Amino acid sequence: MRAASDIERAIGAYGDAVWRACLLYLSPCDAEDVVQDVFLKYALHDAPFRDDGHAKAWLLRVAINACKDVLKAANRKNESVDALAEQGRLGELGCTDDRSAHELARILDAMDALGDPPKTQLYLALYEGYTAKEISRMCDMPEGTVYSWISRGKKRLREVLS
């Protein structure tokens, strides 16, 4: 088991990135559970990491896989932004007004419509800033395939959002 100081450092350094990745797939309630599980797995993972980038990549890959497992197990879709609005829970997504909620709904719907791939590859490239080479290692696919998925995902997002 890892030292408490190492676990606390990882949560401080990568907790937000893991949380955002989980929110891409799950509702905030389910995302909280997955984030906790991811850092529990980190605490129990004894193998050393090459560097901080490797640790972050490992945490994100574990988070994305855990989110997919939750979705498969529940066999359901994410809560829509419209449903959250009806329940008065848009603040959970960081929306402060109707316009930002509408824009967020459009973006999330467009990302959900992408499917996986290219959703994971596009998220890792655009939001987390990983290179295609890094994503290819994380997703265990050829670098050229990652470039193709990112390109296709961007094209489909432009079509939907324009």
Residue in 8, 25, 124 with CA at minimum distance from that of residue 78: 25
- CATH number for the segment(s) 1-78: 1.10.1740.10
Is the peptide bond prior to 142 cis by the omega test (within 30 degrees of 0)? no
Both tokens assigned to 30: 């389910």
Arithmetic mean of pLDDT, 16-44 = 91
Per domain, the residue ranges of the chain are: 1-78
Mean per-residue pLDDT over the chain, rounded: 81
Instruction: Find tokens 């997504």 and name the residue.
Output: 93
pLDDT at 58 over 90: yes
pLDDT for 76 equals 42
| 142 vs 81, more confident | 142
Query: What pLDDT, in 10s, does the model give residues 92-140?
Result: 555 555 656 667 777 777 777 787 788 888 888 877 788 888 888 888 8
Q: Among positive and negative, which fits the CA dihedral 63, 83, 123, 146?
A: positive
The number of beta carbons lying within 10 Å of the beta carbon of residue 26 is: 23
pLDDT for 87 equals 57
Q: Are 43 and 7 in contact (CB under 8 A)?
A: yes
pLDDT for 40 equals 92
Residue 140 per-residue DSSP state: T
